Structure 1
Amino acid sequence: MSPRGSSARWVAHSARLLDGTGAPALEDAWLVTEGGRVVALGSGVGWREHTRGSGGAEVLDAAGRWLVPGFVDVHRHGGGGRSHEEGPDAVLAAALAHRAHGTTAGVVSFVADDVDVLAEHLSGVADLVEAGGAGGLVLGSHLEGPFLAHARRGAHDPAKLTDPTPAAVRHLLAAARGTLRQVTLDPQRAGADEALRLFTGAGTAVAVGHTEASCEQAAGAFDAGARLLTHAFNAMPGIHHRAPGPVVAALDDERVVLEVILDGHHVHPRAAALLLTAAPGRVALITDAMAAAAVPPGGPSRYRLGGLEVVLEAPAAAGAPPRAVLAGGDTIAGSALTLDVALRLGAAAGIPLEALVRAATSTPARAVGAAGGGGAAARGVLAPGARADVVVLGEDLAVVEVRTAGGAG
C-alpha cells in the first residue's frame, strides 16, 4: 500500500531540528505540518498556538529527538528484495522498503541494457510518476547505463554498453516523457558531446561517471553542462598528484554535485569527510542500493543486478551493511545500504551531522531538480511551504518515525 499524505495538522515539539540547509541544529524546536506542507517552525513554546482551533492537532513530544527532512536518494537500483528491472510493482516495493529507513523521495536507477529495454523501463516509471509517484516517493528515473566505458563498467554487463547516438537519446527521452531525472555518461564515448546537449536540453541532469576521463576531459563535460559526478572515486581514475582525475575536476567546479556511497566499502569515511569539507553543499549521499538493501537480517545472500548475479559478503565494520560483489569475483555491485545507515556511519567517523543531513536531503534534491519552484513544494528541507516529508531520529540516529507529505502511513 502506498503511503498517503495527510491534510491533518501535525505538531512536533521539544526536538532538535536540522533543516537540511547545513545550518546548526535548532534546539527546543517545534514544527507544524498541514495540508501536506510545512506550515511553521520555531523554538520554545510557540507550538502551543498551533494545537488550538477546529479539529485540533496530532501532537508529538519529540523529547529531544532529531527532526530532519525526508532523505532524497537520487541513485538506487532496488531494495526490499526487489530489483527495479522487475517492473513497476518492484519499483514501488523498493521505494516503500527504503521509506521505512527515512527515504521519502527516490530516483529509480537502471543498469545498462538494450536501448529498447531501457525505454520500456523509463515508460513504466513515467506511468508511476504521472499516477502520483506512490505518494511522491518516486521522482523519476536515472540511466546509469549504457553509455559507459568498458574499462570502468563495474557491475554493468559489457555486452550492453554502447555509444549514445542521437537516435538512441531521443528514443529514451521520448519514452521517459519528462521524467528522466539523470543519466550517467562517459564523456569519452563517441557522440557524448551531442548526447550531453540533447539530455541537458530536455532538462535531464547529466552525470560524469564510469569513465577513464582525465581531469581536463571531465572539466570539459562540466563546462558543456554536466552537473553531477556519479559515485565519486568509484569507476573512475583516482586522485593522483600528476593526474588529478574527475574528482578534482568536480571539486573545482562550484556547479557540480558529487555523489558518494558512504557504506564502509565503496569509500573510506575519511575520504567522504574530505569531500564534504572541500565541497560544502555539493556532496550527495546516495545508496546505489540493489535488491539486498532494506532486507531484514537472515534474508537471501544472492541477488540479481540486471542480468548479473550478486553475492553478499559479511561487513568488515560494525554497523556497515554487507558488501555486495559480482558472483565469482571481487567487483563491488551496488550496495545493501540505506541512507539512515550512511548517516550513522558518517557520524561515527566524526563528520558533522548537519553536513550529513544536508548531503542526504537538500543537495540531492537540488541536483535532480526537486528543490521546488513552479508551484512544486521543495524537497529536502524543513521550511514553511516545503513538502512535509519529515523523519524523526533517535539519539542513536535510528529512524523512529517517517512522515510523507504530513502522513505517517
Structure 2
Amino acid sequence: MSSLRVVGGSVDVTVVDGVVAPGVHEGPAYDASGLTVLPGLIDLQVNGAAGIDLTLEPTRLWEVAAALPTYGVTAFLPTIITSSPAARSAALETLAAGPPAGWAGAWPLGLHFEGPMIAPARKGAHPAAWLVPPSAELVAGWSREAGVAMVTIAPELRGALDVISTLASAGVVVAVGHTEASAEQVAAAVDRGARSLTHLGNAMPALAGRAPGPVGAGLADPRLVAGVIADGHHLHPITLAAWARALGPARLLAVTDCTAALGMPDGPSRLGDQAVVVREGTVRLEDGTLAGSAASLPACLRVLRSTTGWSLDDVVGCCTSVAADLVGDTSRGRLSAGARGDLTIVDDDLDVVATVVGGRLLHGSLEGER
C-alpha cells in the first residue's frame, strides 16, 4: 500500500493507493504550511505545450502530458484542431497505446476534436483546406469508448444536428464553436445533446440586441457550460466580468487553449501545419489572427479571480469540478474521500509549488518531509 500525506496547508489530505482517503495513514508527510491545497487542475483544451503541437505531432501526446504538471495540470483533453484524418487517427492510436514505460504526467481524459466540422467564416486559426461538412461517415467510430471525449462543431451546418445526436449517444461531449449559429440553432443543438460552448466570444458572432447568437444562447441556457479563455487577451476584462456574472461559477469552464508556445520564449511556433508567432503573451497567425494561447491554467485563474472578485473556491471550481462533471469523471476535481489523489498546491499568488497526480509528487517540492 502506497500513501502520501500533505499536512499543514489549507486542508490536510491523505492519498492511499492513488485515491483520497479519510483518516491518518502511514507514509511520508509533506509540510504545506502557508500553502493552499487544491484539487488537481483540469484543462479541457490543450493544443500542445513545451514546444510540441499535438495536431502536427500527435504521437508526442505523452510528452505534452508529462510537461503539464509543471503548470498544476493533473488531467486534460489533448486537442486536435481541424486537420487531416491522419492526424486524428494517429492521436487516437497514441492514446489507445497508453503511456511508455516509466512515464508520469497529467492524465489524458480522451481527445478533443476541435473541428473539422466548423463554419468557414468563423474558422479563426483553423486551416480552411481541411474543413469538411458534418456527416455520419466522418464520425463513424467516434465515441467516448474509442477515446473521443469532446467534439466542437458548428450546428448551423447541414447535417450537423444528426451528427450531434450520434456523438451524444456515443458518450461524446458536444461543444458548439467556430460557428455563425443563431440562438435558435444553438438551442436546437442543445436539444440534440450539445452541452458546451468552445471559447465563448471567440470565433463566433458578438452578442447583439436583436441577434443574441451563440453568446446569448450560452449565457441564457442553463443546460450549457461555457468554455472561457481568461488569458487577458481573448476577452476584454469587462466582457469577462459580465459573462462571469451571467454564467456563475457553476457554468463557467476555465480553459487555456494553450499551444506549443506554453513554456517557450517569444518567437516562431506552430499550430498544426501553420506558422504562428508568439509575442508578449499572445499566439497569432502571421496575419494577426489569434491562434490559441501561451497561458498556463493558474495564470488564467489569476485573471479570472481579479476580474470577477470571486472566491478562490469558485474560481478553482471552474477548472476542477466543472471540468470533471462536464466530461463525466466525478472522481476528479474534488478532494472528498474516494476521489482521485490529484492535488495542485499553490501559494497566495496561485503560483504552483507542487503537483501530485495519483498520489505521486510529479512537480515541485514541499518543505520538510516529516
Normalised to the residue count of structure 1, the TM-score between the two structures is 0.83
User: Compared with structure 1, are the counterparts of its residues 261 and 352 closer, same or farther at alpha carbon in structure 2 (3 Å cutoff)?
Assistant: same
Counterpart mapping for 1:299-314 below 5 A: 299=265, 301-314=267-280
What's the offset of the Cα at 1:367?
Answer: 1.1
CA contact (8 A) 1:126 1:177 kept: no
Which residue identity does 1:335 align to in structure 2?
S
Q: Structure 1: how far apart are the matches of 2:94 and 2:75?
A: 17
Partner of 1:202: 170
Partner of 1:253: 221
Look up the SS of the partner of 1:360 in the other structure: coil
Look up the SS of the partner of 1:408 in the other structure: strand
Residue from 260, 282, 289 that aligns with 1:323: 282
User: Compared with structure 1, are the counterparts of its residues 125 and 110 closer, same or farther at alpha carbon in structure 2 (3 Å cutoff)?
Assistant: same
User: Compared with structure 1, are the counterparts of its residues 30 and 134 closer, same or farther at alpha carbon in structure 2 (3 Å cutoff)?
Assistant: closer
Q: Structure 2: how far apart are the matches of 1:71 and 1:82?
A: 21
Partner of 1:292: 261
Residue from 6, 29, 54 that aligns with 1:12: 6
1:50 pairs with 2:24: yes
1:345 pairs with 2:303: yes
Q: CA RMSD in A?
A: 2.1
What's the offset of the Cα at 1:59?
Answer: 1.5
1:72 pairs with 2:63: no
1:274 pairs with 2:248: no
1:61 pairs with 2:27: no
Look up the SS of the partner of 2:9 in the other structure: strand
Which residue identity does 1:282 align to in structure 2?
R
Residue from 309, 321, 329 that aligns with 1:362: 321
Q: Structure 1: how far apart are the matches of 2:246 and 2:177?
A: 20
CA contact (8 A) 1:11 1:33 kept: yes
Partner of 1:262: 230
Once the two structures are aligned, what percentage of the paired residues are identical? 36
Partner of 1:122: 92
Partner of 1:335: 293
Partner of 1:397: 350
CA offsets per residue over residues 201-224 of structure 1, 9 Å max, x none? 111010000000111111111111
CA contact (8 A) 2:134 2:159 kept: yes
What's the offset of the Cα at 1:112?
Answer: 0.7
CA contact (8 A) 2:73 2:106 kept: no
Look up the SS of the partner of 1:260 in the other structure: strand
Look up the SS of the partner of 1:302 in the other structure: strand
Residue from 220, 226, 230 that aligns with 2:188: 220
What's the offset of the Cα at 1:129?
Answer: 7.3
Q: Structure 2: how far apart are the matches of 1:301 and 1:379?
A: 36
What's the offset of the Cα at 1:273?
Answer: 3.0
Look up the SS of the partner of 1:107 in the other structure: strand
Q: Structure 1: how far apart are the matches of 2:172 and 2:98?
A: 18
CA offsets per residue over residues 54-101 of structure 1, 9 Å max, x none? xx3212232231010111111110001101134455212222222111
Q: Structure 2: how far apart are the matches of 1:183 and 1:99?
A: 25
The aligned length equals 360
Residue from 341, 360, 365 that aligns with 1:407: 360
Q: Structure 2: how far apart are the matches of 1:300 and 1:244?
A: 37
Partner of 2:117: 147
What's the offset of the Cα at 1:132?
Answer: 11
What's the offset of the Cα at 1:120?
Answer: 3.1
What's the offset of the Cα at 1:196?
Answer: 0.7
Normalised to the residue count of structure 2, the TM-score between the two structures is 0.91
User: Compared with structure 1, are the counterparts of its residues 152 and 86 closer, same or farther at alpha carbon in structure 2 (3 Å cutoff)?
Assistant: closer
Partner of 1:35: 17
User: Compared with structure 1, are the counterparts of its residues 387 and 84 closer, same or farther at alpha carbon in structure 2 (3 Å cutoff)?
Assistant: same
CA contact (8 A) 2:41 2:333 kept: yes
Residue from 336, 339, 361 that aligns with 1:383: 336
User: Compared with structure 1, are the counterparts of its residues 117 and 95 closer, same or farther at alpha carbon in structure 2 (3 Å cutoff)?
Assistant: closer
Which residue identity does 1:249 align to in structure 2?
A
User: Compared with structure 1, are the counterparts of its residues 221 and 131 closer, same or farther at alpha carbon in structure 2 (3 Å cutoff)?
Assistant: farther
User: Compared with structure 1, are the counterparts of its residues 287 and 136 closer, same or farther at alpha carbon in structure 2 (3 Å cutoff)?
Assistant: closer
Moved more, 330-339 or 88-97: 88-97
CA contact (8 A) 1:178 1:202 kept: no
Q: Structure 2: how far apart are the matches of 1:283 and 1:129?
A: 31
User: Compared with structure 1, are the counterparts of its residues 135 and 339 closer, same or farther at alpha carbon in structure 2 (3 Å cutoff)?
Assistant: closer
User: Compared with structure 1, are the counterparts of its residues 408 and 133 closer, same or farther at alpha carbon in structure 2 (3 Å cutoff)?
Assistant: closer
Look up the SS of the partner of 1:12 in the other structure: strand
Look up the SS of the partner of 2:96 in the other structure: helix
Look up the SS of the partner of 2:75 in the other structure: strand
Moved more, 263-272 or 102-111: 263-272
CA contact (8 A) 2:260 2:269 kept: yes
Residue from 148, 151, 159 that aligns with 1:180: 148
What's the offset of the Cα at 1:189?
Answer: 1.2
User: Compared with structure 1, are the counterparts of its residues 283 and 62 closer, same or farther at alpha carbon in structure 2 (3 Å cutoff)?
Assistant: same
CA contact (8 A) 2:152 2:174 kept: yes
What's the offset of the Cα at 1:148?
Answer: 0.5
Runs of 4+ in 1 over 3 A off after TM superposition: 86-89, 129-136
Unaligned runs of 5+ in 1: 1-6, 17-28, 41-48, 315-321, 372-377
Which residue identity does 2:17 align to in structure 1?
G
Q: Structure 1: how far apart are the matches of 2:154 and 2:276?
A: 24
